[in-house]
A and B are shown apart, each in its own frame.
Chain A
């Protein structure tokens, strides 16, 4: 088996005469890249760009606001993955700006690590209404679908902000048409655990329709370097194919059972991405048979008429461009000054999968030190 050093030697031996900008779309990838210091170890004309890889970062501001209002005013137990608790919304300073602040103000909000915990909390509190607020990509949405099909108590409902990964990449690539901004990357590292569930085939549009090099990577430096080598080689040879550098768990077709469960429990809908807007067929909603568990239908009228900056990122925050890979985290003027992991302003500094948090928590002060 090749080591990371073997792959680096192979990469450095490649006759690379033009700049290759490789986007990743998974917070786990960005974490390994940053933590292992891969950027500094690669040739100068290879750029690694963090893209839309953080579901918490793109969760609509309106949904976080709704979750806060339900927790404060609807008497529910609100459960959510821990990442969601510190995501800020745009409200006057006198009001709770996050689920964490709502919790401090007395709301019953409980962080969980698994959908099964949501079921357990609902079963243990049959007299209460429980709302599971969940943002996630396919890897997280499939377990939520499994939870639904296995059977959930009547007092549990879902506030679903789940998204599909590939439509955001497709949107970025389609924006390279005349009249739009260039997508900003010319090779892709595809997400390993999304492909584990959904199958690698989902990503063939990158190599086929758009003729860009692409490889699926796992989360070790070795797997990522193998994928980087693959896309560089594809780029040099001018022949693109979707390489699978994570065969340990990524099999042809993916996990067919999980996909079937997803399609039984969810339907794919147009969806809003915070700071980005609507991306067609990029979100999940509950299938008709589970509509009675849809918190959006159960609880209405909680959005405040005329609320300022509805749906937007916080003032001065450049998270939207960070998520799209248009700028690096340190190019946001708040990075490391007003916005730090301890006092996050934007969602990319809140989530463990946000590029800003990963960079800052790894000691990155600016791009030159990556």
Chain B
């Protein structure tokens, strides 16, 4: 459950942001980052729909690669 997914902010409306990860869009709350400057195009680590922390683009991309591998693996191995 502590799995985090890096996402890029596409638009911001108050504490709510529209974020993207590899073409998938999600609504993400910025409530936990309200004391930090957060802007469109920033990358954030998202867990259960809430941004926990900001991160760099390079860090986001390396995590995406890992998640891709895990998903491919899961499809092969789940429910054995």
A residues with a Cβ closer than 8 A to B are 26-28, 31-32, 35, 55-56, 81, 83, 113-117, 135-137, 139-140, 142-143, 146, 149-150, 191, 193-194, 196-197, 218-222, 248-249, 251, 255-258, 261, 340-342, 351-353, 360-363
**Does the CB pair B52–A139 fall under 8 Å?**
yes
Give 7 nearest A-B pairs by CB, closest first: A114-B49, A143-B50, A248-B59, A146-B31, A249-B53, A258-B32, A139-B2
Which residues of A have CB within 8 Å of B49?
A: 113-117, 143
A116, A197, A361: the one contacting B77 at CB < 8 Å is: A361
- Give Cα A130–Cα B59 distance, bound, in whole angstroms: 38
Is the pair A143, B80 in contact by a Cβ cutoff of 8 Å?
Answer: no
Whether B50 contacts A341 by the Cβ 8 Å rule is: no
Q: Are B31 and A149 in contact (CB-based, < 8 A)? A: yes
Docked complex Cα distance between A298 and B50 (Å):
28
**Is B66 interfacial (CB-CB < 8 Å)?**
yes
Q: Contacting B1 at CB < 8 Å: which of A35, A81, A150, A340? A: A81
The winner among B4, B54, B74 for most chain A CB atoms within 10 A is: B4
The residues of A that contact B31 with a CB separation of less than 8 Å are: 146, 149-150, 261
A193 touches B70 (CB 8 A): no
List, in ascending order, chain B residues with CB within 8 A of A352's CB. 1, 3
Q: 14 more A-B contacts (CB under 8 A) besides A27-B1, A32-B70?
A: A114-B49, A139-B47, A143-B50, A220-B63, A248-B55, A248-B56, A249-B4, A249-B52, A249-B55, A255-B53, A341-B79, A342-B79, A361-B74, A362-B77
Bound complex: CA A295 to CA B2 (Å): 24
> With a CB–CB cut-off of 8 A, which chain A residues contact B69?
35
Whether A193 contacts B32 in the complex (CB less than 8 A), given A115-B49, A219-B66, comes out as no
Q: How far is the CA of A251 from the CA of B29 in the complex (A)?
A: 20
The answer, yes or no, to whether B48 is at the interface (CB within 8 Å) is: yes
Q: Which residues of A have CB within 8 Å of B59? A: 248-249
A193 to B52, Cβ gap below 8 A?
yes
- Give the chain A neighbours of B35 by CB distance below 8 A: 256-257
Q: Does B80 contact A261, Cβ atoms closer than 8 Å?
A: no
Question: How far apart are the CA atoms of A354 and B33 in the complex, in Å?
Answer: 30
Give the chain A neighbours of B15 by CB distance below 8 A: 150
Distance in Å: Cβ of A252 to nearest Cβ of chain B: 12
**Does the CB pair B50–A142 fall under 8 Å?**
yes
> What's the least CB distance linking B11 to chain A, in Å?
17
User: B29–A116 contact, CB under 8 A?
Assistant: yes
Shortest distance from the beta carbon of A150 to any chain B beta carbon, whole Å: 6
Known contacts A362-B73, A363-B77; A261 and B32 CB within 8 A of each other: yes
Contact call A116/B27, Cβ cutoff below 8 A = yes
**A361 and B78 contact, CB distance less than 8 A:** yes
In the bound complex, what is the Cα–Cα distance between A361 and B78 (angstroms)? 5
Can you name the residue of chain A whose Cβ is closest to the Cβ of B78? A361
